[in-house]
């Protein structure tokens, strides 16, 4: 319980509005496919948005750095250190083995671990927000919905990046990527049924819309991947996930700075409500930019992996229950 209401909240309508990137992406793909015979794709679109310098500068690693800056307060570290320290040691070992172990097997194993952990983290965040906006507890139906979405998302992710890191793979005469596409299609069908069941027992209109938006994200990703527009498969979840995360971190910092002694990041700055909105993204981009540019050096690549894995790990609990961070964040719906 808070002694007084928090001055700022994460607007659920804004979080839902982020999913407008899905119909926009579908319309752009269909226009290029039906009217321009893929000319826009062939002339202007890279396969991976990370090949855009501005995209690599603003998305991916910056939100991970922003998360670390938000969590890296002495009071939070003291609260969570027993859970953080063992994980840190494990992730250091995994990263070093993946980069420096027998190749190419070690790097391929690292890729599969990274893929699974990334998809789990991204979808757990989005589905967890859906749970909050729906005003529901994680019952058995929600757990089935969540894991169906995660396995479906992993199948799509491996289909997008698998050939780049694993090469061609056949299992019992089946091409791995054809099998993954079939699996994803079956899971998408199951996800529609589970979303319908979950939406029926969800009273909050915004919560129901958010549940369907997440199902639509996976359905659209599968369709667009099958059409060959890899860029949008990556762009849609990355844009939604990163901007959702920034919304939570900025809201936390706004409330924390106005109620308590501001942390080191804000100590010499005014306490205006717009300061975190500008300062946190700026600092995270400034730190992430040299790290992104120096990843061809294995110590930097290892550091980025460890920071990413730690982010995936601690984000699973630092915003839940009676966590000291959660006390500074509320969602409006």
Angle at Cα 55 formed by Cα 242 and Cα 158, nearest 5°?
Answer: 70
Residue 99, Cβ density class (10 Å: 0-12 exposed, 13-18 middle, ≥19 buried): middle
Q: Is 5 inside any structural domain?
A: no
User: For residue range 206-265, what is the model confidence (pLDDT) as tens digits?
Assistant: 989 999 999 999 999 999 999 989 889 999 999 999 999 999 999 998 888 876 666 778
How far, in Å, CA of 321 to CA of 122, rounded?
20
Does some domain include residue 332? no
CB atoms within 10 A of CB 92: 16
Residue 186 within any structural domain of the chain: yes
Residue 245 lies in a domain: yes
Average per-residue pLDDT for the chain = 89
Contact between residue 95 and residue 306 where contact means Cβ atoms under 8 Å apart: yes
Is-contact 115 157, C-beta < 8 A?
yes
Closest residue by Cα to residue 207 from 106, 262, 302, 134? 134
In this model, does residue 188 exceed pLDDT 80?
yes
CA dihedral 206, 234, 219, 145 (to 10 degrees): -60
Domain that holds residue 273: 11-319
- Mean pLDDT score, 60-75: 92
Mean pLDDT, residues 117-145 taken together: 90
What pLDDT score was predicted for residue 62?
94
**Cβ(128)–Cβ(120) under 8 Å?**
no
- Whether residue 328 is contained in a domain is answered as no
Domain tally for the chain?
Answer: 1
Cβ of 23: how many Cβ atoms within 10 Å? 11
Name the phi and psi angles at 331, rounded to 5: -110, 135
Question: Is 6 part of any domain?
Answer: no
Average pLDDT of span 70-85: 91
pLDDT at 109 over 90: yes
Answer yes or no: is 154 within a domain. Answer: yes
In a domain, 29, yes or no: yes
Residue-level length of the chain: 333
């Amino acid at each position: 319980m808070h002694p007084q209401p928090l001055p700022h909240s994460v607007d659920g309508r804004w979080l839902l509005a982020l999913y407008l990137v899905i119909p926009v992406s579908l319309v752009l793909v269909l226009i290029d496919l039906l009217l321009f015979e893929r000319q826009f794709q062939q002339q202007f679109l890279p396969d991976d948005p990370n090949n855009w310098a501005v995209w690599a500068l603003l998305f991916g690693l910056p939100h991970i750095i922003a998360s670390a800056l938000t969590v890296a307060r002495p009071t939070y570290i003291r609260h969570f250190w027993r859970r953080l320290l063992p994980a840190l040691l494990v992730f250091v070992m995994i990263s070093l083995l993946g980069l420096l172990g027998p190749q190419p097997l070690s790097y391929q194993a690292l890729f599969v671990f990274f893929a699974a952990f990334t998809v789990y983290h991204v979808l757990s965040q989005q589905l967890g927000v859906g749970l909050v906006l729906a005003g529901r507890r994680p019952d058995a139906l929600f757990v089935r919905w969540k894991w169906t979405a995660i396995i479906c998302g992993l199948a799509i992710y491996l289909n997008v990046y698998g050939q780049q890191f694993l090469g061609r793979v056949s299992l019992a005469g089946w091409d791995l990527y054809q099998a993954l596409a079939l699996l994803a299609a079956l899971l998408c069908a199951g996800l529609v049924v589970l979303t319908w069941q979950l939406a029926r027992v969800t009273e909050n209109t915004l919560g129901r819309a958010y549940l369907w938006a997440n199902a639509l994200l996976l359905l659209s990703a599968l369709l667009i991947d099958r059409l060959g527009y890899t860029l949008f498969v990556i762009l849609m979840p990355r844009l939604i996930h990163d901007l959702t995360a920034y919304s939570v971190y900025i809201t936390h910092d706004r409330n924390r700075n106005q109620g308590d002694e501001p942390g080191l990041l804000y100590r010499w700055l005014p306490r205006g409500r717009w300061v975190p909105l500008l300062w946190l993204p700026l600092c995270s981009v400034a730190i992430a930019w040299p790290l992104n540019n120096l990843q061809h050096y294995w110590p930097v690549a290892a550091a980025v992996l460890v920071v990413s894995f730690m982010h995936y790990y601690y984000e699973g609990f630092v915003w839940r229950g009676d966590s000291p961070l959660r006390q500074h964040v509320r969602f409006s719906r």
